[in-house]
Amino acid sequence: MIEMRSISYPRTNAVVSAIILWNTVYLSQVVESLRAEGHDLPDEIIRHISPQIWEHINLTGIYDWNGEGRPEGTFRPLRHATKEKIVEAA
């Protein structure tokens, strides 16, 4: 039992680190996009947004790793939230 734990902890840390990195990259994309649209996003507010969330990450589903249809080095398009979604998330 102890051996299984010692094996799984590094894997868990790697998954958590990957999620945080992914969230950080996409949060940066969102901030840049919103600022380009003219939204006022002060750095004092942005620094309080945490990339340590993963409710939006599917940890038990089917994954497509082939990347077909998306040029290498690109991101999927950002989705703009509606006011209803923002209120729902708050």
Average pLDDT over residues 65-81: 72
The whole domain housing 22 covers 2-89
The pLDDT tens digits for 5-56 are 555 667 778 888 888 998 899 889 889 988 998 988 899 988 888 888 777 7
> For 81, which DSSP code?
P
Tally of structural domains, the chain: 1
Confidence check: pLDDT of 74 > 80:
no
Indicate if the pLDDT at residue 57 is higher than 80: no
